[in-house]
């Protein structure tokens, strides 16, 4: 089953930023991405203002993109928009190669980092294996649902909306990546998840990750598969537990862009192309 994107129908505006559908005033299509971004950042400020702590704040943040997307879809004036967004979670018949890519690319990233760590003498293979524990399985289970929620907002709404409005995949990945980055920067505040980590790898990891996740979403039209890849990037972190985590964070800032470049080089056409109409959100031929 593949979701096919539908053109947005715009009526005569009742006021700046609004359209009229029947008797209901709704959000103009051209403003939905800016409103989505503003709503994400506003909810982020609220989350940090509540001072929920290091353990709770990351789980609150993963809900924000999906919540903002659902609100903007509802404000779009058609119940079908909300259903269409949620339907992308159910797209699963996409071919085995995309499931292999969704799991294999994150796995390749961590194996590359482990290999580099062993070669430069930061750890041995035995140390890497001994660092694994049963809690690694718990990590794999816990990260899946948050990843699906995030991708419902980032790719299922954000990227989908961008390409339907005629923007290129590059533009869509970039603008969503910047909002994604803005959501994570405050995690460097004292007492939060990234507090002790170097800062420079964050934009490298998240912007490259946005391109990689956009790549698989626009080839599958599936939030499910994209969320599986997002979750796999997090679920494979235990493979690097035997290495210094500051070093791993910086290694990810190098390896993930290299993976991104390799994917872009393998893409024959369409990444930079502006598409005026999108019937099927698969603009990258390959």
Task: Give residue 113's pLDDT band: very low, low, confident or very high (50, 70, 90).
Answer: very high
Dihedral over alpha carbons 1, 86, 283, 274 (to 10 degrees): 160
State the pLDDT at residue 59.
87
CA distance 206 to 187: 13
Work out the average pLDDT over 111-116: 97
Structural domain of 112:
18-266
Q: Is the pLDDT assigned to residue 19 strictly greater than 70? A: no
Q: Is the pLDDT assigned to residue 151 strictly greater than 70? A: yes
Strands 24-27 and 18-21, sheet pairing: antiparallel
State the pLDDT at residue 77.
65
Which helix (H) or strand (E) segment is 262 a member of? helix 245-266
**Which of 32-46, 172-186, 269-283 has the least mean pLDDT?**
269-283
In a domain, 145, yes or no: yes
Nearest CA-CA partner of 61 in 154, 198, 135: 154
**Residues 181-240: pLDDT tens digits?**
999 999 898 888 898 899 999 999 999 999 999 999 999 999 999 999 999 999 999 999
Q: Is the pLDDT assigned to residue 2 strictly greater than 50? A: no
In a domain, 273, yes or no: no
Q: Is the pLDDT assigned to residue 15 strictly greater than 70? A: no
DSSP 8-state secondary structure symbol assigned to residue 280:
S
State the pLDDT at residue 99.
97
Indicate the pTM of the whole model. Answer: 0.85
Task: Give residue 275's pLDDT band: very low, low, confident or very high (50, 70, 90).
Answer: low
State the pLDDT at residue 139.
87
**Residues 63-85: pLDDT tens digits?**
999 999 999 998 876 678 899 99
**Residues 50-66: pLDDT tens digits?**
888 777 888 899 999 99
Task: Classify the C-alpha dihedral 216-219-225-226 as positive or negative.
Answer: positive
Q: Does residue 171 or residue 193 have the better pLDDT?
A: 171
In a domain, 279, yes or no: no
In a domain, 85, yes or no: yes
**Residues 247-260: pLDDT tens digits?**
999 999 999 999 99
State the pLDDT at residue 268.
64
CB 105 within 8 A of CB 208: no
In a domain, 57, yes or no: yes
Q: Does residue 15 or residue 26 have the better pLDDT?
A: 26
Angle in degrees, 0-180, between the axes of helices 144-153 and 57-75, rounded to the nearest 10: 30
In a domain, 2, yes or no: no
In a domain, 116, yes or no: yes
State the pLDDT at residue 130.
93
State the pLDDT at residue 136.
86
Q: Is the pLDDT assigned to residue 281 strictly greater than 80? A: no
**Which of 51-60, 87-96, 118-127, 179-188 has the least mean pLDDT?**
51-60
In a domain, 135, yes or no: yes
CA distance 192 to 56: 10
The number of distinct structural domains making up the chain is 1
């Amino acid at each position: 089953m593949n979701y096919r994107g539908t053109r947005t129908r715009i009526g005569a505006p009742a006021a700046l930023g609004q359209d009229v559908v029947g008797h209901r005033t709704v959000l103009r299509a051209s403003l939905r991405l800016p409103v989505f971004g503003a709503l994400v950042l506003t909810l982020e400020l609220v989350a940090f203002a509540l001072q929920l702590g290091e353990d709770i704040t990351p789980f609150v943040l993963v809900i924000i993109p999906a919540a903002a997307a659902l609100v903007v879809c509802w404000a779009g004036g058609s119940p079908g928009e909300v259903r269409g967004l949620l339907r992308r979670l159910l797209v699963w018949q996409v071919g085995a190669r995309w499931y292999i890519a969704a799991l294999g690319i994150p796995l390749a990233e961590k194996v590359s980092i482990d290999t580099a760590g062993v070669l430069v003498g930061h750890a041995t293979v035995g140390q890497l294996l001994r660092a694994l524990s049963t809690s690694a399985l718990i990590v794999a289970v816990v990260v899946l649902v948050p990843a699906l929620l995030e991708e419902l907002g980032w790719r299922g709404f954000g990227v989908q909306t961008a390409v339907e409005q005629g923007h290129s995949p590059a533009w869509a990945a970039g603008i969503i990546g910047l909002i994604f980055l803005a959501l994570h920067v405050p995690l460097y505040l004292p007492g939060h998840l990234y507090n002790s980590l170097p800062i420079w790898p964050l934009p490298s990891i998240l912007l490259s990750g946005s391109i990689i996740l956009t790549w698989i979403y626009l080839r599958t039209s599936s939030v499910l598969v994209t969320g599986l890849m997002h979750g796999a990037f997090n679920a494979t972190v235990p493979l690097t537990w035997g290495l210094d985590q500051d070093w791993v964070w910086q290694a990810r800032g190098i390896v993930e862009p290299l993976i991104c470049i390799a994917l872009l080089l393998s893409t024959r056409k369409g990444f930079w192309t502006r598409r005026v109409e999108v019937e099927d959100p698969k603009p990258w031929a390959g």
